[in-house]
Chain A
Amino acid sequence: MYAQMVKSEATQDDPEQLAAFQARIDAGEKIEPKDWMPEGYRKTLIRQIGQHAHSEIVGQLPEGNWITRAPTLERKAILLAKVQDEAGHGLYLYCAAETLGVSRDEMTEMLLDGRMKYSSIFNYPTLNWADIGAVGWLVDGAAIMNQVPLQRTSFGPYSRAMIRVCKEESFHQRQGYDAIRKMAEGTPEQKKMAQDALNRLWYPSLMMFGPSDKDSVHSAQSMAWKIKMNTNDELRQKFVDQTVPQAEYLGLTVPDPDLKWNEERGHYDYTDPDWSEFFEVIKGNGPCNTDRLAARNKAWDDGAWVRDGLLAHAKKKAGRQHAAE
């Protein structure tokens, strides 16, 4: 769930064309890049897929924060493989977005100057090693909740990207759970780290699903277009129901004193995150927003000479080949 509060674009197309388009979606057909599509559908998807891609890229930073301090060779290898997967997800999501007529460089510029967003979760810090387990368990767990239904989304390239992403994400989630389990079963200090990670990351994970349905203004059109498959609250509830028993199994306490099983609803009752905090993070006032964007900008700026150099070489080489022919 790396896309939050994606604004649906109003669309001003011919009503007959629109109706035919909607009929295709209702019939479960996939929309492919060369098919006619409403401008609003295209723009909304660019925003959503782009935000998802950016999240994969920025998401390297909180995890990279621990690669050099991973406690064993195996954990280091697992974390490196995971971060590599995520950069790969970013790559094929950018490719999916490019089929809609926007280049990766354009999207990157929009991330770097703040016009495009990434998931709020990556504006929280990773402070102890258990955070790496918790990111896999909770953050990837929340992402999967959203991405599994998106495998059936109406836009073909996005759907196919999600199928691949989901396979790897569920693997990451299992590895994350295994890492935090090891700590929850470990020394008192390790258990303290695990609990500390859960305390800090629980509510930010719930925020990943976006605002409550009553405040979610963009959902209806996106759901009709099948680029959003469930409401925010549905997915959040599903996540809570799945995660609470896992926390209990670990012997960890979910930081919500009002959390309890509601027999009648067949779901857990839980406390909503502090939405004012969420909107502050979205506005740029999360604990790490400034540093994350600065890190990405620095990487991009410092890398300019590399990109220019490789491009210049490719041109020279092509020129030499041309001259030789």
Chain B
Amino acid sequence: MNAPLAKEEAFLQFLLRMGDNTLILGHRVSEWCGHAPVLEEDIALANTALDMIGQTQMWLGLAAEVHGPGKSADDLAFLRDAWDFRNVLLVEVPNGDFGRTLMRQFLFDAWHSIQLGRLMKSSDERVAAIAEKASKEVAYHLERSADTVVGLGDGTEESHRRMQEALDYLWPYAGEMFQSDDVDAEMVKAGIAPDPASLREEYDVLVSRILNEATLTIPESRFAHKGGRTGAMHTEHLGHLLTQMQWLQRAYPGAKW
């Protein structure tokens, strides 16, 4: 039996989970810059990445504040190693083709929009304020990713096949978003954040509706990879991502940019 988590420590973990999700997914999406299938998608992908980096600044900014003096959002983003990251595995898997990128975005946006809706009622005003701002952006992300998943799922034979493959690959990563642990229990107790498991039903309804419209089949297995949001075991991909993202800060310690 673990010793109960101090509320401050649990709050910090919660903030890292929120901020690391948007940081890592924002990074992944930004890898598309200049390589999208059509100009409108280049713009939309850059816009989505930009929103997520903006949200990261807010979540990790608050995390740094909670962490104590002398830390900044940049320190958290650029100077932690992989085991300190608290994002779900879903957001760190490589982009794959455009279909996988948009399917991953949809599976994340659907959770994100529900989560932010709950966080707007958080007992912590700072959390509620960030959620309120982010939820407007995420409503648009979800609309766009859902439309694209439907368009490509119910498009040509090839686009359908690719979207089904994307879903089959990504589905085992969706479950981690709903796994609850001590950090979540503490957040629920404090009225700061909902129990992740409590979002599952609403998520399933939303995701089933869109994937059904997209003529795609949700895999039967409920198996879920895990280890990202606890930091216990990330994928091999995260280290490479951090190598790139953190390079300048690591190579030139203390420099101001």
Contacts and interface: CB of A to CB of B under 8 A. Distances in A.
Given A83-B33, A84-B50, A306 B98 contact: yes
B96 to A, nearest CB: 11
Contact of B151 (A61, A189, A190, A309): A309
B132 interface: no
B144 to A, nearest CB: 12
Given A77-B50, A306-B98, A186 B255 contact: yes
A189 B152 CA distance: 48
B42 interface: yes
A306 B148 CA distance: 9
Contact of B98 (A70, A80, A83, A302): A302
Given A74-B57, A295-B35, A298-B35, A69 B247 contact: yes
Interface stretch (A86-94, A113-121, A266-274): A86-94
Q: Is the interface of B mostly helix, strand, loop or mixed?
A: helix
A322 B53 CA distance: 42
Contacts of A75: 257
A305 B46 CA distance: 21
Given A91-B39, A91-B43, A61 B245 contact: no
Interface string B9-32: 000000000000001000100110
Tell me the dominant secondary structure on chain A's binding face: helix
Contacts of B247: 69
Interface in A308-325: 308-314, 316
A243 interface: no
Given A71-B249, A83-B33, A190-B252, A308 B158 contact: yes
Interface in B133-171: 148, 150-152, 154-156, 158-160, 162
A262 interface: no
Interface residues of B, number: 52
Contact of A312 (B31, B159, B257): B159
Contacts of A87: 39, 42-43, 46
Contacts of A71: 78, 248-249, 255, 257
A72 B257 contact: yes
Interface of A: 57, 60-61, 63-64, 67-77, 80-81, 83-84, 87-88, 90-91, 94, 104, 129, 179, 182-183, 186-187, 189-190, 295, 298-300, 302-314, 316
Given A60-B42, A308-B156, A308-B159, 12 more contacts: A68-B27, A69-B244, A73-B73, A75-B257, A190-B252, A303-B98, A304-B37, A305-B158, A306-B37, A310-B152, A310-B159, A312-B156
Interface of B: 23, 27, 30-31, 33-43, 46-47, 49-50, 53-54, 56-57, 60, 73-74, 77-78, 97-99, 148, 150-152, 154-156, 158-160, 162, 244-245, 247-249, 252, 254-257
